[in-house]
Amino acid sequence: MSTAAFAAVDLIRAKRDGGTLTDPEITWLIRAFTAGEVTAEQMSAMAMAIFFRGLDGRELATWTTAMIETGERMDFSGLDRPTVDKHSTGGVGDKITLPLAPLVAACGAAVPQLSGRGLGHTGGTLDKLEAIPGWRADLGNADMLAQLREVGAVICAAGSGLAPADKKLYALRDVTGTVESIPMISASIMSKKIAEGTASLVLDVKTGAGAFMRTREQSRELARTMVGIGRAAGVSTVALVTAMDAPLGRTAGNGLEVAESVEVLAGGGPADVVELTLALAREMLSCAGIEADPASALASGRAMDTWKAMIRAQGGDPDAPLPVARHTEVVTADGEGYLARLDAMAVGLAAWRLGAGRAKQGEGVQAAAGVTWHAGIGDRVRAGQPLFTLHTDTPERIERAREALAGAVDYSADPVAPGPVVLERIAD
């Protein structure tokens, strides 16, 4: 698009002063920014204006559609099974995608799970799976379709052709303090998911100390906004608001979380991981119109069979040993009682400092780095018992990881019951 239909500065002023943008203005702005005709400085100013002034429902729907239209749309209509996807807003120990995708596929759905890499304290699904020897994240559209037909599930990197405006805009938001805008978070997530072509979508919106959204109110608003966008676009969309004050499971780190996911698929694993996996599976199957019991598919081994087929289809060896860290250190409990608090952010920061995460895009991660915790909320802890094990290939990182965990736990003299994992369901 070479001829400017509008002046970017006029649109910035309008939004800055609390006005609304018309559909043609929004469509032009997104296209011109993607084409390089609106500068990074101008779009940064617009992002800040939206951060403070927001977007109304019409503006947000148009913004999301405009972002989708900067790229391609995938089409899974030729598959002989209904498609359904899941998106999580990210948390510590959130390995749910790994057992969930093959579980839902084993029940008869097609699960095209386009995932990303981690940045900061939350791990990325692709980083986790790359701990498996030989596994590859990058698949072309034809390979994705073939794997969905043959296996029913695929977890892979999103191609550059999906909503390229989002990648360009996110890079600006990340360095201008405007990431935490609910309209722009919603448009970012939903533009990619709608462009992906899935017929139905279940959102896992985390809330709490280790989540992007710290308060229940923020998480509820984000969930409702995304559900509204999805439904307006013809995608059957449901959201669960789930707890992230304490980390999920007993591990945070790439290979560690793969091992824990395999435990779940084998019929074991931590109770909270199993509970959330089954809750999301039931929602996904309901959205897809499939009557099946995911607990039965887990217990029978069908989900494990699908996991192995999915990993093999992407070049991985599901039976190969996972990487083991060259250095480990145990952190013992300095108090005792019933574990009343285990801070998810502290655990995530420790795993990141040990090498499980990255500080900026493009950095490598350690496949074996991370944290194991040996007690969960409500467990009885005695002073001096092992509380955390730190894993890393670079022992000079251990001290700073220990510092991150200082003050991460509280104890109670009285018994403590773990809180619910699923806090709320939002469908409209």
Active-site pick, 88, 186, 188, 191: 188
Instruction: State how far Cα 298 lies from the chain centre.
Output: 22
In single-letter form, the type of residue at position 122 comes to T
Q: Based on the residue annotation, tell me whether 166 is a catalytic residue of this protein.
A: yes
Report the alpha-carbon distance of residue 274 to residue 12 in Å, rounded: 47
Alpha helix locations (H) across 197-270?
216-232, 254-265
Residues 385, 383, 122, 280: what is their CA dihedral angle, to the nearest 10 degrees? 80
pTM over cut 0.85: yes
Residue 206 in this model has a pLDDT that exceeds 70: yes
| Spatial separation of the C-alpha atoms in residues 268 and 301, rounded to whole Å | 12
Contact at 8 Å (CB) between 289 and 163? no
In angstroms, rounded to a whole number, what is the distance separating the alpha carbons of residues 165 and 311? 31
Rounded to whole angstroms, what are the CA distances from 241 to 26, 85, 97, 285, 297? 30, 16, 16, 18, 25
Contact 143, 337 (CB under 8 A): no
Catalytic residue among 95, 117, 173, 220, which?
173
pLDDT at 361: 67
Residue pair 352/236 in contact (Cβ under 8 Å)? The answer is no
Q: What is the mean pLDDT of residues 130-157?
A: 95
Q: How far is CA 383 from the centre of its chain?
A: 35
Catalytic residue among 85, 127, 166, 343: 166
Examine the residue annotation and report whether 397 is marked as an active-site residue of this protein.
Answer: no
Higher pLDDT: 119 or 351? It is 351
Sign of CA dihedral 268, 271, 272, 278: positive
Per-residue confidence (pLDDT) for residue 328, from 0 to 100: 98
Name the average pLDDT for the chain: 94
pLDDT tens-digit readout, 23-70: 999 999 999 999 999 999 999 999 999 999 999 999 999 999 999 999
31, 87, 117, 250: which is the annotated catalytic residue? 87
The candidate with the shortest Cα–Cα distance to 99, out of 391, 373, 299, 348, is 299
Q: What is residue 357's predicted lDDT score, i.e. its pLDDT?
A: 86
Q: List, for residues 265-285, the tens digit of each pLDDT value.
A: 999 999 999 999 999 999 999
Q: Is residue 87 annotated as a catalytic residue, yes or no? A: yes
Q: Note if 379 is an active site residue.
A: no
* Residue 397 DSSP symbol: G
> What kind and span of H or E run contains 156?
strand 153-157
pLDDT at 119 over 90: no
Question: Which of 121, 192, 224, 308 is labelled catalytic?
Answer: 192
Domains in the chain (CATH in brackets) are 8-54 (1.20.970.10), 84-313 (3.40.1030.10), 327-412 (3.90.1170.30)
Q: What is the DSSP letter of 80?
A: S
Is residue 344 within 8 A of residue 91, CB to CB? The reply is yes
Q: Are 205 and 223 in contact (CB under 8 A)?
A: yes
Q: Average pLDDT for residues 73-82, to the nearest whole number?
A: 92
Residue 3, pLDDT score: 46
Task: Give 356's DSSP letter.
Answer: I
Task: Answer for the pair 388, 377: CB distance below 8 angstroms, yes or no.
Answer: no
What gap in Å lies between CA 247 and CA 210, rounded to an integer? 7
Residue 357 to residue 349: CA distance in whole angstroms: 9
414 catalytic per annotation: no
pLDDT (mean) for 182-197? 93
